[in-house]
A and B are shown apart, each in its own frame.
Chain A
């Protein structure tokens, strides 16, 4: 019985989170001497991009009724094709909306926010994020079947090319409960939860007019931007950038915190970043205790200079 994995796409294009989920599924399949079957809804990308990460089979669901997202309709679609006992999802907004509904349809255990490959396969046991980044839980599935959602950027993307095959599955799921009225999505912008580098700033930046230098640094690094809660509360930055215990939990390879004091609620959301750089003019700022590298000084001087130096490095 194959390991199934939901390969999420945006407007037909696979997300990095899809590749990560396939990589994760592949690591389990290898342990079990099993294969990986990826499921995708109305993709336009070629399946080759999923074979590259280890998907032996790709089931492309074609259904005009699924043009727009509906958690329930998508869960029904996945339910029809995912016949295995292990189903992997990325922990994206859409996938983490489908997974709980599917868990009910399939009488499965659902383990969300998973960080590593399972510690045990039968019963399925795995380490997951808990207490909003303040702790970890080793969760054990009691049901026969298990659905997991993999925390983004935790396992990583691993190339593992196989020669795969594709199957088209035509479905006609009815969706009368929800109707999309409008959809705004900026395609060029780097997704905060997927980003490998995040440049984040807090109240120390004094006002929204000073974010130009933050964006310059972010652009130079190919990074996404984030902010502390008060910065989004007062409307300097959009809510979508708020990281922390009550915002997004992220785990980039590099997190640069500028003018952020390092309150416990902020740290909770970012402390699983692999490397943390803190820039703050107060040597006593608590954030330095949770940093790998620190610079005490004025962000308004440091940031433009740092951006120049990184530009020079990148040539």
Chain B
């Protein structure tokens, strides 16, 4: 069984997000990069399948050379090998195209992604990849088992969950819950050492078209100063919410 895990490299969750002076781009100055947290759930799931079913796990990133430390981290977590498609990701479509190109010839039984990258919040790449490959797609996956040529996936739905059997190959986008938080793997020394020698192949991009452009960016406007109410004056809080904010 061959699993491809698509990881995006995103600003660490503690990052303050700033934009360049002309607001035309995200300001990468001083940013620490991490594996997209939702992809980490997918990667951990893949490593579990590697342990339980002898699956081989390849991580794939579409990115420039700056993403290599993040790819090495995925190798340290336990992926067998890695592939980087050398391109600065421009939009979901072009990234999905690159992933689909890799998958077309790779013979993967399963492609795992995160539901959404926490930087551009597209939530678009996995579904696009599935359609480009004409494979079934399960989104918001919170549980996954593989039985031969089929997967049993649990997906989150509004107000509940649904269990589905899916024919492989398929594209599955995971999120928190796919594995337990406590099962996320923190690389140990041995993992980090072995990651240095695991294969990280670089492949040139196919330069596919871009369909969405970020023309400018804004920061979140600051809120007006907080109005404090003392605990013995909750009537005032209720009044403010009712009369001033008009939300109750």
Contact = CB atoms under 8 A, between A and B. Distances in A.
Interface of A: 10, 15, 69-72, 75, 91-94, 96-101, 103-105, 108-113, 125, 127-143, 149, 176-187, 189, 191, 193-194, 197, 221, 232-233, 239-240, 242, 245-247, 249, 253-254, 264-265, 268, 271-272, 274-278, 288-298, 301-302, 305-306, 309-310, 313
Contacts of A176: 167
Interface of B: 11, 13-17, 19, 26, 37-38, 92-93, 96, 118-128, 130-132, 135-140, 142, 152, 155-167, 170, 176-177, 181-182, 209-220, 223-224, 226-231, 234-235, 237-238, 240-242, 245, 247-248
Contacts of B122: 110, 112
10 contacts: A93-B158, A130-B119, A135-B19, A139-B213, A181-B164, A193-B158, A239-B156, A254-B248, A275-B245, A309-B235
A292 B235 contact: no
B234 A302 contact: yes
B226 A289 contact: yes
A252 to B, nearest CB: 9
A194 B187 CA distance: 39
Contacts of B118: 131-132, 245-246
A272 B228 CA distance: 20
A276 B167 CA distance: 45
B137 A135 contact: no
A265 B160 CA distance: 25
Contacts of B227: 292-294
Contact of A310 (B37, B131, B216, B238): B238
Given A113-B123, A135-B219, 5 more contacts: A136-B219, A178-B138, A293-B245, A294-B229, A302-B231
A246 B216 contact: no
B166 A177 contact: yes
| A-B complex: 7 closest residue pairs judged by Cβ atoms | A100-B127, A297-B231, A185-B160, A177-B136, A104-B131, A254-B247, A97-B139
